[in-house]
């Protein structure tokens, strides 16, 4: 399937995956993340259940300290 | 648009600033200078000597609460700016009440965990309210890495990679760049919202 990940087109195997699976495939190992699918916030307890499918717009934000 | 027209629009606006450190203090001063009518600033910390390498405070303010010191600095720039200085720790429980009246909110925390709480809470309670986040500004140089990423009402300013550490401290130039970039995004949002009307 094709999705948009952080404003870039991304080709992924299969036609659906959970947020947890996407994080694993893309090697997102940061503990502190903000994830949105099609503009909607996905909370941590939803990572194993929230599905990503063809055409979805996924935004992943790594939170790092500094300010 | 003339500066008088800009000031007349901004004078009716409220901007919330979560955190009065390097990002928040510099961003608040920039917004006060252009004439934003009301600023809600929140922080629980006091000014210390180590803050002076980047934060908009002065040596004679060491020991003062950051919110009170920043309100005083803004009063010296423009006393017509209404500053609500909240000396408190922002939590998931109180964030919605503190920022509900804001047209735009600026995330200006230091620690990643605090940023996470603020962004999650704002997206959950006010998905339609613009939120301008500062992310990644430690160190020096690498000006070309600093960018703006937009995702609906979420605006991310910074390089998204430079985390602070012992060897990569936050310093005035780069922190100031991101803080002023956040202020610039706020300005764009506020002025565009008037043009659309």
| Backbone angles phi and psi of A3, in degrees to 5 | -130, 170
3-state helix, strand, coil in chain B (%, to 5): 45, 20, 35
Q: Which of B120, B138, B170 has its CB closest to that of A41?
A: B120
pLDDT for res B194: 84
Domain that holds residue A58: 2-62
The answer to whether the CB of B10 falls within 8 A of the CB of B37 is yes
Distance CA A66, CA A64 (A): 7
Question: Above 70 in pLDDT, residue A29?
Answer: yes
Q: Which of B110, B120, B161 has its CB closest to that of A65?
A: B110
Domain that holds residue B52: 3-196
DSSP A6: T
Residue A51, domain member (yes or no): yes
Q: Which residues contact B112 (CB under 8 A, 6 or more apart)?
A: A32, A63, A64, A65, B163
Residue A67, domain member (yes or no): no
Handedness of CA B59, B61, B63, B65 (dihedral sign): negative
Q: Which structure tokens are listed for A42?
A: 């996905």
To the nearest whole angstrom, how far is the Cα of B120 from the nearest Cα of chain A? Answer: 7
State how far the alpha carbon of B33 is from the alpha carbons of A47, B52, B163, in Å.
Answer: 43, 20, 29
To the nearest whole angstrom, how far is the Cα of B138 from the nearest Cα of chain A? Answer: 6
Q: b/e per residue, B50-59, with b = 16+ CB within 10 A?
A: ebeebbbbee
Report chain A residues whose CB lies below 8 A from the CB of B123: 34, 36, 41
Report chain A residues whose CB lies below 8 A from the CB of B170: 66-67
Residue A55, domain member (yes or no): yes
Q: Which of A34, A64, A67 has its CB closest to that of B119?
A: A34
pTM value? 0.95
In the A/B pair of chains, how many CB contacts fall below 8 A?
76
pLDDT for res B197: 58
Please count the structural domains in chain B: 1
Q: Do A63 and B113 touch (CB under 8 A)?
A: yes
Distance CA B138, CA B179 (A): 12
Q: Which of B108, B112, B119 has its CB closest to that of A65?
A: B112
CATH of the domain at A43: 3.10.20.30
Please count the structural domains in chain A: 1
Question: Above 70 in pLDDT, residue A39?
Answer: yes
Q: Walk along chain B (197 residues) and give the pLDDT tens digit of each residue.
A: 999 999 999 999 999 999 999 999 999 999 999 999 999 999 999 999 999 999 999 999 999 999 999 999 999 999 999 999 999 999 999 999 999 999 999 999 999 999 999 999 999 999 999 999 999 999 999 999 999 999 999 999 999 999 999 999 999 999 999 999 999 999 999 999 887 65
Point out which residues pair with B155 in neighbouring strands. Answer: B132, B150
**A positions 4-43 inside 8 Å of B (CB):** 6-7, 32-34, 36, 39-41, 43
Distance CA A24, CA B141 (A): 32
* Confidence category of residue A24, pLDDT binned at 50, 70, 90: very high
Minimal-distance CA residue of chain B relative to A60: B151
Minimal-distance CA residue of chain A relative to B174: A67
CATH of the domain at B116: 3.40.50.720
Q: Do A67 and B112 touch (CB under 8 A)?
A: no
The answer to whether the CB of B114 falls within 8 A of the CB of B70 is no
Distance CA B179, CA B17 (A): 11
């Amino acid at each position: 399937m094709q999705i948009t990940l952080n404003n870039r087109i991304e080709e992924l195997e299969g036609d659906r995956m959970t947020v947890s699976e996407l994080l694993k495939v893309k090697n997102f190992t940061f503990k502190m993340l903000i994830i949105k699918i099609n503009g909607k916030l996905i909370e941590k307890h939803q990572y194993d259940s929230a599905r990503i499918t063809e055409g979805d717009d996924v935004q992943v934000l790594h939170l790092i300290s500094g300010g | 648009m003339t500066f008088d027209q800009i000031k007349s629009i901004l004078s009716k606006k409220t901007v919330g600033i979560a955190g009065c450190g390097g990002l928040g203090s510099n961003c608040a001063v920039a917004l006060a200078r252009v004439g934003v009518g009301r600023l809600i600033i929140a922080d629980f910390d006091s000014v210390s000597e180590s803050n002076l390498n980047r934060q908009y405070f002065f040596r004679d303010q060491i020991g003062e609460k950051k919110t009170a010191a920043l309100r005083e600095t803004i009063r010296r720039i423009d006393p017509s700016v209404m500053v609500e200085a909240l000396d408190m720790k922002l939590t998931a429980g109180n964030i919605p009440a503190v920022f509900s009246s804001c047209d735009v909110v600026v995330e200006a925390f230091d620690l990643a965990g605090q940023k996470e709480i603020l962004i999650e809470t704002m997206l959950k309670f006010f998905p339609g309210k613009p939120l301008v986040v500062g992310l990644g500004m430690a160190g020096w140089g690498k000006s070309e890495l600093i960018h703006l990423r937009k995702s609906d009402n979420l605006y991310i300013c910074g390089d998204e990679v430079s985390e602070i550490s012992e060897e990569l401290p936050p310093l005035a130039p780069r922190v100031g760049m991101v803080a002023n970039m956040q202020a610039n995004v706020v300005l764009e949002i506020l002025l565009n919202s008037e043009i659309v009307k």
